[in-house]
Amino acid sequence: MNPPEPPEQLQKPATAIPSMAQVSRERKPAASTVLQKIRTSHPRASRIPDAVFAVIILLSAISVFAIVVLVAWELIDKSRLSLHQFGIAFFYGHDWDPVEGSFGAVPFIYGTLVSSFLALLLAVPASIGVAVYITEMCPQRLRAIISFLVELLAAIPSVIYGLWGIFVLAPLLREYVEPFLARTLGWTGLFTGPMYGLGMLAAGIILAIMVVPVIASITREVMTAVPQNQREAVLALGATRWEMIRMGVLRNARIGIVGGIILGLGRALGETMAVTMVIGNRPEVAKSLFAPGYTMASVIANEFSEATGDLYLSALVEIGLALFLVTLIVNALARLLVWSITGGTARVRA
């Protein structure tokens, strides 16, 4: 671009290359005057929606922080009595005896963590399998149907899962699965003791079924988002189908998959109704997965309405606080895990 020419040059006869000013003087399309008018009449008008939009977005973003802080504050405030009475001992106390007025959170923290991790152990391979089948192997026609069915699983109310757990899963576990596990894996100590059907194992399985749709649909999304050229790159090197899926798809999608697992874990940690119906609701720490347990969400749901006395109520709210903290810590650890796997580098680029 030439710098703008001084005005006196405009008076010169046109040379081979006319200046910009000359060009604009020569051509005067009808629209330009209209445009001129629009441009000069509201010089700053277009900025107002921008500013409004920015404020609205900022408020939404702040509201997320505000809600978290409010929830935390409310939990701390309402559990003040219990916090004062037991102090830090609440978080390592094993006793839960409302009659004696002694409260400890360990059985519930244990129950929540064990049932959730058991659920992940079962659900993660299943979900990845479902996602791989849908994106890589399934005939085009079936694809939409299977995806829909998997997502439908997420829409079933959890009380229905609970009922199914009581009437179908528990008898199955009691009659067939638990005796088999006791015979084959009893030596580990994880599968011993009386077989009720209801218990930690049942809770883990129900939770697994409930988190499969969450993990599977997110895994499917991120696998679909892996560019086709990554698959071609691996195939062209002479990879089998499984090698292509492993190296070209799963490897590229792994951050998203871990994200899906974290969401699934979040659901498992907080799930209340179905777990309450099948876990057995006994506040103790048992090594065997056959034994009944109790989770933080379950004890709040079960005992809140019958909590007599301020200390009891306050202790239940403090369980809520513990659940809040456990969720935060688990999520933070999961993020840290993602960060360490990837070495802090970015995600798949298209």
Partner 1 sequence: MGVGIEVRGLNAWYGKNQSLNSIDMTVLANHVTAVIGPSGCGKSTFIRCLNRMHETIPEARAEGSVQVGEMDVYGSGSDPVEVRRRIGMVFQKPNPFPTMSIYGNVAAGLKLNGFRNRKQMDELVERSLKLAALWEEVKDDLHKKSGASLSGGQQQRLCIARALAVEPEVLLMDEPASALDPISTSKIEELIFQLKQHYTVVIVTHNMQQAARVAEFTGFFLMGSLIEYDKTEKIFTTPADKRTEDYITGRFG
Which residues contribute to the site for partner 1 (CB under 8 A)?
140, 227, 229-240, 243, 247-248, 251-252, 254, 342, 345-346, 348-349
Distance CA(208)–CA(126), nearest Å, equals 9
Structure tokens of 267? 């659901």
Identity of the residue, 16 or 350, whose beta carbon is nearer to partner 1 in the bound complex: 350
Least distance between partner 1 and beta carbon 255 (Å): 9
Identity of the residue, 165 or 259, whose beta carbon is nearer to partner 1 in the bound complex: 259
Distance CA(220)–CA(340), nearest Å, equals 23
Least distance between partner 1 and beta carbon 123 (Å): 24
Least distance between partner 1 and beta carbon 225 (Å): 13
Identity of the residue, 12 or 251, whose beta carbon is nearer to partner 1 in the bound complex: 251
Identity of the residue, 146 or 348, whose beta carbon is nearer to partner 1 in the bound complex: 348
Least distance between partner 1 and beta carbon 130 (Å): 20
Least distance between partner 1 and beta carbon 339 (Å): 14
Least distance between partner 1 and beta carbon 250 (Å): 10
Identity of the residue, 140 or 340, whose beta carbon is nearer to partner 1 in the bound complex: 140
Q: In degrees to the nearest 10, what's the CA dihedral of 289, 293, 298, 300?
A: -150
3-state secondary structure (DSSP) of residue 310? helix
In the chain, what are the helix, strand and coil shares in percent, each to the nearest 5? 75, 0, 25
One-letter amino acid at 303 equals E
Work out the number of other CB atoms within 10 angstroms of the CB of residue 277. Answer: 23
Q: Which residues pair with 280 in a beta bridge?
A: 293
Structure tokens of 44? 């700053």
Chain centroid to Cα 106, Å, comes to: 25
Query: Which residues have a Cβ under 8 Å from the Cβ of 68 and sit 6 or more positions away?
Result: none
Identity of the residue, 252 or 272, whose beta carbon is nearer to partner 1 in the bound complex: 252
Identity of the residue, 234 or 268, whose beta carbon is nearer to partner 1 in the bound complex: 234
Could you please report the per-residue DSSP string of 176-221? IIHHHHHHHHGGGSSS-S---S-SHHHHHHHHHHHHHHHHHHHHHH
Least distance between partner 1 and beta carbon 237 (Å): 4
